[in-house]
């Protein structure tokens, strides 16, 4: 079985379980083969620019009313700040009139749900473990997925100690062999971006907020 075949089996199983998922989400420090979103809000605005999100949170948390005040507080060049402002204006999260900023939509109060990253490997579970640990920076949970016949060669203690989960993939589905621990270092803004990316690329018939998950124990 090739890695692409492994991913195809998991995609099919996730789709059958009506899970929200997408492949190869590029997050700078890693590219999970699959990312799953669970209980994702239908009000989630798709924003994938880190600085635009950071500026939004700064506006809300500091009650900033003018662009000039925002520029003074940031170390970013003014053209970069204005570009981020345009992103937020275009999705109607904020409004700007004569440099006066108005918050139109409070995305900071929306429940982001849960996101799960999966790294698929055929045999190299140690390499997968290292990659999956990186994903905890933007994911609630992270797994390594292996063909069922490769699971027996894994050092389960290393998975338990690292908090990374293990998925065993059969010819037609997958099951959880090791339960993961929730990330303690997941960055809020990077999680927001990762979920936005999933929604941008997702399978059309997914209903992540309604699915009855039968695969991941952490989502049940």
35 has which bridge partners?
Answer: 22, 117
What is the Cα–Cα distance from 164 to 116, expressed in whole angstroms? 11
Nearest residue to 144 (alpha-carbon basis) of 13, 2, 6: 6
Domains of the chain: 3-43+111-219 (3.40.1350), 50-109 (1.10.10)
Nearest residue to 71 (alpha-carbon basis) of 99, 94, 92, 44: 99
Residue 207: per-residue pLDDT: 46
Residue 103: per-residue pLDDT: 96
- The verdict on pTM exceeding 0.75 is yes
DSSP-derived pairing of the beta strands 174-178 and 94-97 = unpaired
Tens place of pLDDT per residue across the chain (220 aa): 789 999 999 999 998 888 899 999 999 889 999 999 999 988 899 999 999 999 999 999 999 999 999 999 998 999 999 999 999 999 999 999 999 999 999 999 888 999 999 999 999 999 999 999 999 999 999 999 999 999 999 999 999 999 999 999 998 889 999 999 999 999 999 999 999 999 998 755 444 455 567 789 988 7
As a three-state string, the secondary structure of the chain is CCHHHHHHHHHHHHHHCCCEEEECCCCCCCCCCEEEEECCCCCCCCCCCHHHHHHHHHHHHHCCCEHHHHHHHCCCCHHHHHHHHHHHHHCCCEEEECCEEEECCCHHHCCCCEEEEEEECCCCHHHHHHHHHHHCCCCCEEEEEEEHHHHHHCCHHHHHHHCCEEEEECCCCEEEEECCCCCCCCCHHHHHHHHHHHHHHCCCCCCCCCCCCCCCHHHC
What is the Cα–Cα distance from 108 to 200, expressed in whole angstroms? 20
Q: In whole angstroms, what separates CA 179 from the centre of its chain?
A: 19
Residue 1: per-residue pLDDT: 73
Residue 48: per-residue pLDDT: 93
Residue 212: per-residue pLDDT: 64
Which single residue is written with the structure tokens 């989400």? 25
Residue 17: per-residue pLDDT: 86
């Amino acid at each position: 079985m090739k890695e692409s075949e492994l991913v195809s089996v998991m995609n099919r199983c996730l789709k059958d379980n009506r899970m929200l998922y997408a492949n190869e989400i590029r997050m700078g420090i890693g590219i999970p083969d699959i990312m799953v979103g669970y209980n994702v809000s239908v009000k989630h605005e798709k924003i994938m620019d880190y600085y635009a999100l950071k500026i939004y949170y700064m506006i809300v948390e500091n009650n900033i009313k003018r662009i000039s005040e925002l520029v003074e507080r940031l170390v970013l060049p003014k053209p970069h700040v204005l570009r981020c402002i345009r992103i937020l204006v275009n999705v109607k999260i904020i409004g700007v009139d004569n440099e006066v900023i108005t918050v139109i939509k409070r995305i900071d109060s929306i429940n982001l749900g849960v996101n799960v990253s999966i790294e698929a490997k055929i045999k190299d579970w140690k390499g997968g473990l290292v990659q999956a640990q990186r994903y905890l920076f933007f994911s609630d949970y992270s797994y390594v997925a292996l063909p069922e016949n490769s699971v027996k060669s894994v050092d389960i203690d290393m998975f338990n100690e690292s908090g990374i989960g293990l998925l065993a993939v059969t010819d037609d589905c997958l099951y959880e062999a090791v339960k993961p621990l929730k990330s303690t270092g997941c960055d809020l803004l990077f999680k927001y971006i990762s979920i936005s990316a999933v929604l941008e690329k997702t399978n059309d018939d997914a209903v992540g907020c309604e699915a009855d998950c039968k695969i991941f124990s952490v989502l049940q």
